[in-house]
Chain A
Amino acid sequence: MERVPYWNISFGLLIDLLSIPAMAIFVYGLYRHWKRIKQGRSRIRLGIPVSALKIGPLYVRSFLANGIVGTRIYKKLFTGIAHGCLLWGMIILTIGTTLVFLNVLFGLPVFKGDFNRWFMGATLDAAGVAALVGVLFLLMRRVFPPERLTIFKSNSAFITIEVVIAVIIVTGFLVEGVRIAQTGPDPGSFVGNALALLLVNVALPEIHRYLWWIHGLIAISLIAYIPYSPLVHLVLAPINAGLDTPVPGPKMGVIDFEAFEGEGEEVPSLGLSRLADFQWKNLLDASTCLQCGRCHEVCPAAQTGKSLSPKGVMVTLSEYLEQGKMEDDSVLEAISTDAIYSCTTCAACMEACPVSVNQPNAILGMRQHLLMERSEIPDIMGQAHRSLEARHHPFIGTGFGPNDWRKGLEVPIFEKGKTEYLLWIGCSVAYEERTQKITRAMVHILKTAGVSFGILEENRCTGDPAKQMGNEFLFTEIAGQNIEEFNELGVSSVITMCPHCFNSFTRHYPLLGAKFAVIPHAVFIRDLIDKGAIRLSKGTETICYHDPCYLGRHNKVLSEPRQIVDAVGQLVEMPRSGNESFCCGGGGGNYWTEEEGTRINQTRALEALDTEADTIATACPFCMLMLTDGLKKHTEEQKVKDIAELVSSRMEV
């Protein structure tokens, strides 16, 4: 017998009619979010040019992968599966309910044949079971939460919502069971049929009627309630993910200071100090954040006892936003200067975030305000900053001049029109004795391979540390000088040894007018090996590779260094590697910080040591210095080497 919709129900169409005000409340709730979010102003930033498929402002790939499929959710397997079961189960159930409406309103033949058996019966029941299992798992996670869910704020509204969803699903099954007990089995409805057997003696039409209305009214109410609850992430998360450019990392852009030099132009408040200064994407991030704490769990600062928690930052922003405190500049104090400067800009929080929140962008924006408007910076970082400002390098108290690294070494100077590659030295591989060996190894490799390369006569920094410390103005000045010199010299291809230089050259310099190609030394050396320009003797030593955040997570150069390590020895992976790598602690200017509590570099060095590899390799001079220092706590062995050093020592002449 064909199923009769609204069986045993009088005026069932009232549910359809009630869905209209429910949807109106739903839309109004979303409008309130939009009104809050659009208050963010973005006046002075330039965007990063991205070539990716877009529909309007939405990046299709980000929208589908991170917004719809929600790939990052599944990084926590059980939670991911539970979330997937609940989300997709509820979506399928909603489709089923919509089909019932369409059947009632337009006679759509959904209760006939195989479609009825396999979709309206079996699939919907399976979806209900999946959603119920999912929601019960998530409810248990809220009742017995891990630390990440409770730190800073426990979003208890989820418990209510999860109970409500569970009630909707259970009442749905009961309605089905009681109906089947009264009208006979439904093809494919395995849960309904089973329940009907259990309910056969209590399946009164009155019970069915009450349950039907309870089920329908709660479901309609939940829809209306979505925008006023954490469930709003159902709408905001896909949008937030779609608006996130596919370029990894914080995406700080640059500030156009020249605009302020125009006639009568007033310098606006720099950086972020009140919600009104934030970009609307920052406010969307704060609204979308689920406070799940995944970012807290991977944050090197948070995990080593610093005052920073990316979740804490988002919680604070979200509370200020909810309370409409757009002009309240106490938000920085609420987050704290210590916390803002503790960020190593490693972007692990972004990588972990299931809803594509860009925590570092907000944190660095606030850091920009502290430095450029209030001149607030931790002491040692301040000294490095002053050195950078006066000497164009931040290595305070160095015992080396800019050319000491090449004493006794013939290094060609870049010649306009003659030299192909500029070997960019920068600061980190010039002013520290240990890292000078990286530069010398790189010169050895390039010479052996017969590469046409040269260095600048006057060595200086890219300005990246200034940018990371929050001084966009100083960065722009240094970058401007570098770009001018590159243009005069006709530099078209640059090789970098520091991922921070690489990141700055590729992310920020083009926005200031630079037009040159940049190759990180890991990629260049790998290419030399592939082309046979250098030949290596593979050894038996085991080598674990530490991914520098600015090379790996920020720029996705993950396989090339590993190929190099594999060419000289036996690659060993640390538990946290690749995109999930743990920071060395030196990023964001924190190389010049006296850390309190557990030191990040010691934590990471121990992880590397625990692999029992003979050598610890990396591809960033800052990582090299931090890990070398961190290792001293655990061993006296000098185990850290740059990939250039490994290659240089293994080259067959």
Chain B
Amino acid sequence: MHIVVLAKVVPDYEVPSADFELVGNRAHPRYARMIGLYDENAVELGVQLKEKHAAGLTIVSYGLHEDVQFLRKAIAMGADKIVLVEGTSDDPYVIAANLKEAIDKQGEVDLVLAGRQSSDMDRGVVPGLLAGMLDYPFVPQACSVESVADGWKVAQITETGKRLMKLSGKGVLSITSVPENVPRIPAVKAIFAAKKKPVEKLPEIGARPMGVSEISVSIPKIESVCELIPAEDMDEAARTLFRRLKEERYL
């Protein structure tokens, strides 16, 4: 069994909005870089599957050479190797095409896991596009997966609860965050070992971009208006606050 996890290195996704600034329409380089939030959940799930089924686990990423140092965390968590396609495109179609090329080069792949959306662009379209290109079924918002005869049993988080599905053969799953896939903290020995694990670098392939171009990027301005609620006691304050929130349609 061979599992591929897609992981993208992104700028710190927890930078407070008040501190956020752009350089060249992208996050300022002063922010720390790290594997995307949901991608880490996908890596954790991949490692759990690897441990359960003695599977091979490959991390495939599209990004910069400098990203390798951050991707090594996935190796320390339990992956076997990193495959990095070096490229700078933001176009989901180009990214998906490059990832497909890299996955094709890995031989037999039984399952592809990805974060439900990247933590920088939040589009969540690459896994779906990739599934189309690979001609695999795609299940978004998956939270758990287990191997069954001829396929996978997948749990999907929906707005109202959880849906269990059977996936025949191979597939692409985009993973959402649940307590069961909170990324583990790599053991120190694994961090040391990760330094010696192989990194395969692939050149970018030319791919047709989508017919969408970026016109501008802006940071929404957050305005805060402070209003004191006059009240005699906490009970009255809470009631007044609740009424006001409903009036203003926040609730």
User: CA separation between A385 and B73, bound complex, in Å?
Assistant: 14
Residue B186 CB within 8 A of the other chain? yes
Residues 145-189 of chain B, each 1 if its beta carbon lies under 8 Å from chain A, else 0: 000000000000000000000000000000000000011111111
User: CA separation between A68 and B111, bound complex, in Å?
Assistant: 69
Tell me which residues across on chain A come within 8 A of B15, comparing CB atoms.
401
Contact B14 A375 (CB under 8 A): no
Tell me which residues across on chain B come within 8 A of A371, comparing CB atoms.
185
State the Cβ distance, B67 to closest chain A Cβ, in Å. Answer: 14
State the Cβ distance, B126 to closest chain A Cβ, in Å. Answer: 22
Tell me which residues across on chain B come within 8 A of A261, comparing CB atoms.
192
Q: Whose C-beta in chain A lies nearest to the C-beta of B195? A: A261
Contact A401 B188 (CB under 8 A): no
User: CA separation between A387 and B9, bound complex, in Å?
Assistant: 15
Q: Known: A391-B12, A392-B32, A400-B16. Is A372-B182 also a contact (CB below 8 A)?
A: no
Q: Known: A270-B188, A373-B187. Is A390-B34 also a contact (CB below 8 A)?
A: yes
8 A Cβ contacts from B1-56 to A: 12, 14-16, 18-19, 30, 32, 34
User: CA separation between A382 and B182, bound complex, in Å?
Assistant: 10
Contact A401 B32 (CB under 8 A): no
Contact A390 B12 (CB under 8 A): yes
User: CA separation between A379 and B189, bound complex, in Å?
Assistant: 22
User: CA separation between A261 and B185, bound complex, in Å?
Assistant: 21
State the Cβ distance, B221 to closest chain A Cβ, in Å. Answer: 16
Q: Known: A392-B32, A396-B14. Is A379-B19 also a contact (CB below 8 A)?
A: no
User: CA separation between A550 and B183, bound complex, in Å?
Assistant: 32
State the Cβ distance, B79 to closest chain A Cβ, in Å. Answer: 15
Contact B188 A399 (CB under 8 A): no
Contact A391 B19 (CB under 8 A): no
Residue B125 CB within 8 A of the other chain? no
Question: Counting chain B CB atoms within 10 Å of each CB, which of A373, A386, A402 scores highest?
Answer: A386
Tell me which residues across on chain A come within 8 A of B191, comparing CB atoms.
473
Q: Known: A267-B192, A390-B34, A473-B191. Is A401-B185 also a contact (CB below 8 A)?
A: no
User: CA separation between A391 and B34, bound complex, in Å?
Assistant: 9
Residue A404 CB within 8 A of the other chain? yes
Contact B187 A372 (CB under 8 A): yes
Contact A399 B32 (CB under 8 A): no
User: CA separation between A577 and B116, bound complex, in Å?
Assistant: 52
Q: Out of A372, A386, A389, which one reaches B188, CB within 8 Å?
A: A372
Contact A260 B192 (CB under 8 A): yes
Tell me which residues across on chain B come within 8 A of A385, comparing CB atoms.
185
Residue A417 CB within 8 A of the other chain? no
User: CA separation between A261 and B16, bound complex, in Å?
Assistant: 37
User: CA separation between A402 and B31, bound complex, in Å?
Assistant: 10
Question: Counting chain B CB atoms within 10 Å of each CB, which of A372, A398, A471 scores highest?
Answer: A372
Contact A375 B184 (CB under 8 A): yes
Interface size class of B (residues with CB under 8 A): 10 to 19
Tell me which residues across on chain A come within 8 A of B18, comparing CB atoms.
399-401, 404
User: CA separation between A390 and B31, bound complex, in Å?
Assistant: 10
User: CA separation between A398 and B187, bound complex, in Å?
Assistant: 27
Q: Whose C-beta in chain A lies nearest to the C-beta of B31? A: A391
Tell me which residues across on chain B come within 8 A of A267, comparing CB atoms.
188-189, 192
State the Cβ distance, B11 to closest chain A Cβ, in Å. Answer: 11
Contact B188 A391 (CB under 8 A): no
Residue A532 CB within 8 A of the other chain? no
Contact B185 A382 (CB under 8 A): yes
Residue A427 CB within 8 A of the other chain? no
Residues 252-293 of chain A, each 1 if its beta carbon lies under 8 Å from chain B, else 0: 000001001100000100100000000000000000000000
Tell me which residues across on chain A come within 8 A of B14, comparing CB atoms.
387, 391, 396-398
Tell me which residues across on chain A come within 8 A of B183, comparing CB atoms.
386
State the Cβ distance, A589 to closest chain B Cβ, in Å. Answer: 13
Tell me which residues across on chain B come within 8 A of A391, comparing CB atoms.
12, 14, 32
State the Cβ distance, B139 to closest chain A Cβ, in Å. Answer: 27
Residue A377 CB within 8 A of the other chain? yes
State the Cβ distance, A12 to closest chain B Cβ, in Å. Answer: 66
Q: Known: A391-B14, A397-B14, A401-B19. Is A386-B185 also a contact (CB below 8 A)?
A: yes
User: CA separation between A402 and B183, bound complex, in Å?
Assistant: 25
Tell me which residues across on chain A come within 8 A of B189, comparing CB atoms.
267, 270, 373
Q: Whose C-beta in chain A lies nearest to the C-beta of B184? A: A375
Q: Whose C-beta in chain A lies nearest to the C-beta of B70? A: A390
Q: Known: A387-B14, A392-B32, A396-B14. Is A374-B187 also a contact (CB below 8 A)?
A: yes
Contact B32 A390 (CB under 8 A): yes
Residues 50-82 of chain B, each 1 if its beta carbon lies under 8 Å from chain A, else 0: 000000000000000000000000000000000
8 A Cβ contacts from B178-218 to A: 182-189, 191-192
8 A Cβ contacts from A353-392 to B: 371-375, 377, 379, 382, 385-387, 389-392
Tell me which residues across on chain A come within 8 A of B16, comparing CB atoms.
398-401, 404
State the Cβ distance, A45 to closest chain B Cβ, in Å. Answer: 15
User: CA separation between A399 and B17, bound complex, in Å?
Assistant: 8
User: CA separation between A364 and B138, bound complex, in Å?
Assistant: 46
Q: Whose C-beta in chain B lies nearest to the C-beta of A395? A: B14
Q: Whose C-beta in chain B lies nearest to the C-beta of A477? A: B191
Tell me which residues across on chain B come within 8 A of A392, comparing CB atoms.
32
Q: Whose C-beta in chain B lies nearest to the C-beta of A368? A: B188
Q: Whose C-beta in chain B lies nearest to the C-beta of A376? A: B185
Q: Known: A390-B34, A392-B32, A399-B18. Is A373-B185 also a contact (CB below 8 A)?
A: no
State the Cβ distance, B35 to closest chain A Cβ, in Å. Answer: 9
Tell me which residues across on chain B come within 8 A of A397, comparing CB atoms.
14
User: CA separation between A379 and B12, bound complex, in Å?
Assistant: 20
Q: Whose C-beta in chain A lies nearest to the C-beta of B32? A: A391
Tell me which residues across on chain B come within 8 A of A402, comparing CB atoms.
19
Q: Whose C-beta in chain B lies nearest to the C-beta of A472? A: B188
Contact A373 B19 (CB under 8 A): no
Q: Whose C-beta in chain A lies nearest to the C-beta of B190? A: A375
State the Cβ distance, A269 to closest chain B Cβ, in Å. Answer: 9
Tell me which residues across on chain A come within 8 A of B187, comparing CB atoms.
372-375
User: CA separation between A270 and B190, bound complex, in Å?
Assistant: 12
Tell me which residues across on chain A come within 8 A of B32, comparing CB atoms.
390-392
User: CA separation between A126 and B204, bound complex, in Å?
Assistant: 94
User: CA separation between A386 and B30, bound complex, in Å?
Assistant: 19
User: CA separation between A390 and B183, bound complex, in Å?
Assistant: 13
Tell me which residues across on chain A come within 8 A of B188, comparing CB atoms.
257, 267, 270, 372-373, 471, 473
Q: Whose C-beta in chain B lies nearest to the C-beta of A267? A: B189
Q: Whose C-beta in chain A lies nearest to the C-beta of B77? A: A375
State the Cβ distance, B196 to closest chain A Cβ, in Å. Answer: 11
Tell me which residues across on chain A come within 8 A of B192, comparing CB atoms.
260-261, 267
User: CA separation between A385 and B186, bound complex, in Å?
Assistant: 11
Contact B34 A375 (CB under 8 A): no
Q: Whose C-beta in chain A lies nearest to the C-beta of B234? A: A636
Q: Whose C-beta in chain B lies nearest to the C-beta of A397? A: B14
User: CA separation between A379 and B182, bound complex, in Å?
Assistant: 9
Tell me which residues across on chain B come within 8 A of A386, comparing CB atoms.
183, 185
Tell me which residues across on chain A come within 8 A of B19, comparing CB atoms.
400-404
User: CA separation between A371 and B183, bound complex, in Å?
Assistant: 14
State the Cβ distance, A468 to closest chain B Cβ, in Å. Answer: 15
User: CA separation between A372 and B185, bound complex, in Å?
Assistant: 8
Question: Counting chain B CB atoms within 10 Å of each CB, which of A371, A385, A402, A473 scores highest?
Answer: A473
State the Cβ distance, B39 to closest chain A Cβ, in Å. Answer: 13
User: CA separation between A404 and B19, bound complex, in Å?
Assistant: 7
Q: Whose C-beta in chain B lies nearest to the C-beta of A372? A: B188
Tell me which residues across on chain A come within 8 A of B186, comparing CB atoms.
375
- Listed by A's residue number, 10 A-B pairs whose Cβ atoms lie within 8 Å are A267-B189, A372-B187, A374-B187, A396-B14, A399-B16, A401-B16, A404-B16, A404-B18, A471-B188, A473-B191
Instruction: Supply 20 further A-B pairs (C-beta < 8 A) apart from A385-B185, A389-B185, A471-B188.
Output: A260-B192, A261-B192, A267-B192, A373-B187, A373-B189, A375-B184, A382-B182, A386-B183, A386-B185, A390-B32, A391-B32, A396-B14, A399-B16, A401-B15, A401-B16, A402-B19, A403-B19, A404-B18, A404-B19, A471-B185
Top-3 shortest CB links A-B = A401-B19, A372-B188, A390-B34
